[in-house]
Amino acid sequence: MDQPGFLKELGSVLQPGQGAASLDFRLEDAVWDSLAVMSTVALIDEHCGVTVSGDELARCVTVKDVLALAGLA
């Protein structure tokens, strides 16, 4: 999956109905709880073929950090 497609999917996890996530969106401004982290682990696994660590993902600050972890930066 390319970056725009991934940002659209990630936006639906972080802020349902608000459109694609922006690169500088701060995860703390969404409900970045264990369910959101698991949903993002699943998203990256399914669309990027990479199974990232839940702990590493939980430490991300912005959407740009998530992209880097997913190999889409």
Partner 1 sequence: MSRGRAAVKAIRSHLPDRKLTNEDLAAEFRDWSVDKVFEKTGIAVRGIAADGECASDLGAAAARKLFEAGVVRPDAIDFLIFCTQSPDYFLPASACLMQARLGLPTSCGAIDVNQGCSGFVYGLSLAKGLVESGTASNVLLVTGDTYSRYIDREDRSVRTIFGDGAAATWIGATEGERECIGPFVLGTDGLGAEQLIVRDGACRTPGAAGGLRAGPTLHMNGPEVFTFTLKRVPAVVAQLLDKASLSLADIDLFVFHQANRFMLDQLRKKIGIPPERFCVSLEAYGNTVSSTIPMALEIALARGQAGPGSLVMVVGFGVGYSWGASLLRLL
Q: Distance between CA atoms of 58 and 1, rounded to whole angstroms?
A: 22
Beta-carbon count within 10 A of 7 CB: 21
29 binds partner 1 (CB under 8 A): no
Q: Distance between CA atoms of 6 and 31, rounded to whole angstroms?
A: 19
Output DSSP code: residue 55.
H
53 binds partner 1 (CB under 8 A): yes
Closer Cβ to partner 1, 22 or 53, answer by number: 53
- In the complex, minimum distance from the CB of residue 62 to partner 1, in angstroms, rounded to a whole number: 18
Q: Which residues bind partner 1 (CB under 8 A)?
A: 34-35, 37-39, 41-42, 45-46, 51-55, 57-58
